[in-house]
């Protein structure tokens, strides 16, 4: 069974990524770390705690960075709602976050199981950059490092930049500059994972999970300004977890990725070169999703979560 540590900013698609990981018999979630992103850190941390309780998970939750390395925070509450989960209000959590900061938790957890844990980041990369600065050897200790973030075509937060990178470009630059090979599950891939009406028709008999979380979240998310005109909102973050579960679901291509941190119009752009010296490649960039198999996996995991 593979082990995964998820750094996240729940967030509607984050919530569904966590459900995918928890519901899979092939993954063990060893912890969640929160970061400010879609909404402020107090909400993303509370949501992580509420979601673990709602899903019946007992994993540790550690609170992380409340702001980017050097910039003012920006959020995506217009997509995820003021509390990050659309109009959903889950019961207040009984659990509390660990005393340890997320950065310490990431370092300690990876140090304790070198080569075993897939570190998966689906929010702004602030915690990961801080962890790399404090302990560069985490780049050797991960089994693999996977992000939802970036794009080799266009952005969503700005024409050039995807939200998770745009929110903290300096952190993303640290992360892509580290000695590991980042698996970049960017927008080019995640827009292939749209929760269309036909996909949603498969989510039957999911009880409270569907009534109290899945349906209201997807209704809110799909009705938000960026997605209301499309044929279903992309479940971005679940794609990163799906890659960890089964890399054959996603085609990846080696590339060099550098993060623009200075551009007036292009800050946060992930400048991607599929050509060039292979020795300079620092990333595996996702290009194509096996959609039917992806939704099969997600539906099976959701069914398990719903019935637990
Ligand atoms: C990413 O930004 C956030 O709004 C989502 O949770 C996802 O991680 C998509 O650009
Ligand atoms: Ca996210």
What pLDDT is attached to residue 215?
A: 97
- Read off the pTM: 0.98
90 DSSP assignment: P
Average pLDDT, the chain: 97
Average pLDDT over residues 244-261: 98
157 CA closest ligand 1 atom index: 10
What pLDDT is attached to residue 305?
A: 97
Cα of 110 vs centre of ligand 2, distance in Å, is: 22
Question: Which segments of 122-277 are extended strands (E)?
Answer: 142-148, 182-185, 250-259, 270-273
For ligand 2, a single-atom ion, the residues with CB < 5 A are 9, 11, 14, 122-123, 237
187 CA closest ligand 1 atom index: 10
Ligand approaching nearest to the C-alpha of 155: 1
What pLDDT is attached to residue 25?
A: 96
What pLDDT is attached to residue 205?
A: 86
What pLDDT is attached to residue 62?
A: 98
Residues near 238 by beta carbon (within 8 Å), at least 6 away in sequence:
13, 16, 17, 20, 193, 298
Average pLDDT over residues 215-237: 93
Phi/psi at 65 (5° precision): -75, 135
State how beta strands 117-121 and 182-185 pair.
unpaired
What pLDDT is attached to residue 308?
A: 86
Q: Does the interface ipTM go beyond 0.90?
A: yes
236 belongs to the catalytic site: yes
Cα of 43 vs centre of ligand 1, distance in Å, is: 15
pLDDT digits (tens, 9 = 90+) for 146-168: 999 999 999 999 999 999 999 99
What pLDDT is attached to residue 160?
A: 98
* pLDDT for residue 289 is more than 90: yes
Confidence of residue 211 (pLDDT cuts 50, 70, 90): very high
Distances (CA, A) of 202 to 76, 144, 213: 28, 31, 16
Give percent of the chain above pLDDT 70: 100
What pLDDT is attached to residue 214?
A: 97
Distance between CA atoms of residues 251 and 285, nearest Å: 8
Distance between CA atoms of residues 127 and 35, nearest Å: 7
Confidence of residue 105 (pLDDT cuts 50, 70, 90): very high
What pLDDT is attached to residue 225?
A: 85
What pLDDT is attached to residue 167?
A: 98
Question: Percentages helix, strand, coil for the chain, rounded to the nearest 5?
Answer: 40, 20, 40
- The secondary element (H helix, E strand) that includes residue 236 is helix 236-245
What pLDDT is attached to residue 229?
A: 86
Residues near 247 by beta carbon (within 8 Å), at least 6 away in sequence:
none
* pLDDT for residue 143 is more than 90: yes
What pLDDT is attached to residue 230?
A: 83
* pLDDT for residue 68 is more than 90: yes
Cα of 76 vs centre of ligand 2, distance in Å, is: 10
What pLDDT is attached to residue 226?
A: 86
Q: Which of 35, 51, 149 is the pocket-test mutation for ligand 1 (most atoms within 8 Å of CB)?
A: 149
């Amino acid at each position: 069974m593979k082990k995964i540590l998820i750094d996240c900013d729940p967030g509607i698609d984050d919530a569904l990524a966590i459900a995918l990981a928890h519901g899979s018999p092939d993954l063990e979630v060893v912890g969640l770390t929160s970061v400010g992103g879609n909404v402020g850190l107090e909400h993303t941390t509370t949501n992580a705690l509420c979601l673990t309780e709602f899903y019946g998970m007992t994993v540790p939750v550690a609170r992380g960075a409340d702001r980017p390395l050097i910039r003012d925070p920006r959020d995506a509450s217009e997509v995820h709602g003021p509390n990050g989960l659309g109009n959903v209000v889950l019961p207040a959590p009984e659990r509390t976050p660990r005393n340890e900061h997320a950065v310490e938790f990431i370092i300690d957890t990876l140090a304790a199981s070198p080569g075993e844990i897939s570190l998966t980041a689906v929010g702004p990369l602030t915690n990961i950059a801080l962890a790399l600065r404090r302990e560069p050897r985490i780049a050797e200790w991960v089994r693999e490092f996977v992000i939802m973030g970036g794009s080799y075509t266009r952005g969503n937060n700005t024409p050039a930049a995807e939200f998770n990178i745009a929110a903290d470009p300096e952190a993303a630059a640290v992360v892509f500059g580290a000695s590991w090979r980042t698996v970049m599950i960017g927008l080019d891939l995640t827009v292939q994972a749209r929760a269309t009406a036909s996909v949603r028709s498969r989510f039957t008999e999911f009880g409270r999970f569907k009534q109290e979380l899945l349906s209201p979240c997807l209704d809110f998310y799909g009705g938000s300004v960026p997605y209301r005109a499309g044929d279903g909102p992309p479940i971005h973050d679940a794609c990163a977890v799906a890659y960890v579960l089964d890399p054959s679901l996603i085609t990846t291509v080696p590339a060099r990725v550098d993060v623009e941190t200075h551009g007036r119009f292009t800050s946060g752009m992930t400048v991607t070169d599929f050509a060039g010296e292979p020795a300079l490649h620092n990333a595996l960039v996702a290009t194509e999703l096996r959609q039917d198999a992806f939704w099969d996996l997600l539906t099976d995991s959701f069914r398990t979560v719903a019935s637990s």
